[in-house]
Structure 1
Amino acid sequence: MKRKGLVLAMVLMMVWITACGNKGGAATNDPDANDTVTVWTYPVHGTYEDDLKDLIADFNKEHPNITVKTEMLSWAEGPKKFDVALNAGNPPDLYFHSVDGTYVNTGLALELDSYLTPEIKDDYMPGTLELGQIQGKQYGLPLYQFQWAWGGNKRILEEAGIDWQAIQKNGWTWSEFNEAAAKLTKTLDNGSKQYALVTDGTSLDFIEMLSRNNGMIDVLDDSGKFQWNDGRILDTLSFIKNLMDQGYMPKETAALAPAKRTDMFYAGETAIISKAIPYYDVMIQNRNKDIDAGKVQGEKIDFVLLPVPHNDNQPAATTMGGEGYVAFKQKKDKGEQHAKNTFLVMEALSGAKAGNSANELALPFVRQSQADLFKGKELGQQFNLDAAKEMAKHIAMPVVLKLDIDKASQQKQFKEQVVKPNIQALFSGEKTPEQIAEDFKSKGQQMFGQ
Structure 2
Amino acid sequence: MLATILTSLFCLALWLWWRLLPGRQIYPEIRPEKKYSVVLWDFDRPLAGHESYREELLSEIQAFNRDFPNIEVDVKLFPWDQGEQVATAILRRQDVPDVLSSGPIENLDFGRRVLLSPQHLTEESRLGYVPLAMSALEQGGEYAFWPRYIKPQLYLANTNLLQIAGVELSTLEQYGLGWADMLELGQKLSQLPARPFVLASFDYEGLLTAVAPREVEEASAASSNWPQKAAVTAAARLKQLQDRGFLPPNASQDNYSGVREFFAGQAALLAPAEPWLIRAVEGRSDRIERGLLDPGENRPFPTALIAPKLDPTSGLPAQVEVLVVFRRRRAADEIRAAVELAQHLSRSGTLSAKLDLLPAYGPSQDTWCEAWELGNEATLLQVCEHGRIVSPYPNTGLEGKDVLGRIK
Aligned to 1:269: 266
Q: Offset at 1:342?
A: 1.6
Aligned to 1:293: 290
> Does the residue aligned with 1:244 lie in a helix, a strand or coil?
helix
RMSD, matched Cα: 3.9
Query: Structure 2 matches for 1:425-444, cutoff 5 A?
Result: 425=402, 431-434=404-407
> Does the residue aligned with 2:272 lie in a helix, a strand or coil?
strand
Q: Distance in 2 between matches of 1:389 and 1:34?
A: 36
Q: 1:127 to 1:154 in 2, by over 3 A?
A: closer
> Among 251, 267, 271, which residue is 2:249 paired with?
251
Q: 1:80 to 1:188 in 2, by over 3 A?
A: farther
Q: Distance in 1 between matches of 2:346 and 2:224?
A: 34
The AA in structure 1 aligned to 2:89 is A
Q: Offset at 1:375?
A: 4.6
Aligned to 1:97: 102
Q: Distance in 2 between matches of 1:61 and 1:147?
A: 32
> Does the residue aligned with 1:103 lie in a helix, a strand or coil?
coil
Q: 1:273 to 1:55 in 2, by over 3 A?
A: same
> Does the residue aligned with 1:252 lie in a helix, a strand or coil?
helix
Q: Distance in 2 between matches of 1:168 and 1:292?
A: 28
> Among 114, 132, 147, which residue is 2:152 paired with?
147
Aligned to 1:373: 367
Aligned to 1:207: 208
Checking the alignment, whether the CA contact within 8 Å between 1:91 and 1:328 is kept in structure 2 is yes
> Does the residue aligned with 1:432 lie in a helix, a strand or coil?
helix
Q: Offset at 1:261?
A: 3.4
Consecutive unaligned residues of structure 2, counting only runs of 5 or more, are 1-29
Checking the alignment, whether the CA contact within 8 Å between 2:349 and 2:359 is kept in structure 1 is yes
Aligned to 1:303: 303
Q: Offset at 1:200?
A: 2.9
1:59 aligns with 2:64: yes
Q: Offset at 1:152?
A: 0.7
Checking the alignment, whether the CA contact within 8 Å between 1:44 and 1:357 is kept in structure 2 is no
Aligned to 2:86: 82
> Among 343, 367, 377, which residue is 1:385 paired with?
377
Q: Offset at 1:153?
A: 0.6
The AA in structure 2 aligned to 1:263 is R
The AA in structure 2 aligned to 1:274 is A
Q: 1:169 to 1:361 in 2, by over 3 A?
A: farther
Q: 1:390 to 1:341 in 2, by over 3 A?
A: closer
Q: 1:29 to 1:103 in 2, by over 3 A?
A: farther
1:283 aligns with 2:280: yes
Q: Offset at 1:296?
A: 2.5
1:241 aligns with 2:233: no
1:221 aligns with 2:220: yes
> Does the residue aligned with 1:175 lie in a helix, a strand or coil?
helix
Q: 1:358 to 1:135 in 2, by over 3 A?
A: closer
Q: Offset at 1:181?
A: 1.0
Checking the alignment, whether the CA contact within 8 Å between 1:129 and 1:141 is kept in structure 2 is no
Larger gyration radius, structure 1 or structure 2: 1
The structure where helix makes up a greater share of residues is 1
Aligned to 2:9: none
Checking the alignment, whether the CA contact within 8 Å between 2:262 and 2:270 is kept in structure 1 is yes
Summarize deviations over 1:113-157 as a string: whole Å, max 9, x none. 547583x44443456345335457762221233211111111111
Q: Offset at 1:236?
A: 3.1
Q: 1:140 to 1:342 in 2, by over 3 A?
A: same
* Percentage of identical aligned residues: 15
Aligned to 1:397: 389
Q: Distance in 2 between matches of 1:33 and 1:376?
A: 35
Q: 1:361 to 1:195 in 2, by over 3 A?
A: farther
> Does the residue aligned with 2:83 lie in a helix, a strand or coil?
helix
Aligned to 2:20: none
Q: Distance in 2 between matches of 1:64 and 1:50?
A: 19
Aligned to 2:40: 38
1:343 aligns with 2:343: no
Summarize deviations over 1:29-51 as a string: whole Å, max 9, x none. 77632524132224174443331
Q: 1:110 to 1:263 in 2, by over 3 A?
A: farther
> Does the residue aligned with 1:40 lie in a helix, a strand or coil?
strand
> Does the residue aligned with 1:288 lie in a helix, a strand or coil?
helix
> Does the residue aligned with 2:359 lie in a helix, a strand or coil?
coil
The AA in structure 2 aligned to 1:43 is R
Checking the alignment, whether the CA contact within 8 Å between 2:224 and 2:391 is kept in structure 1 is no
1:355 aligns with 2:349: yes
Q: Offset at 1:65?
A: 5.3
Aligned to 1:158: 163
Query: Structure 2 matches for 1:128-207, cutoff 5 A?
Result: 128-129=133-134, 131-134=136-139, 139-185=144-190, 194-201=196-203, 203=205, 205-207=206-208
> Does the residue aligned with 1:237 lie in a helix, a strand or coil?
helix
Q: 1:385 to 1:52 in 2, by over 3 A?
A: same
Checking the alignment, whether the CA contact within 8 Å between 2:132 and 2:387 is kept in structure 1 is no
Q: Offset at 1:278?
A: 2.8
Q: 1:29 to 1:176 in 2, by over 3 A?
A: closer
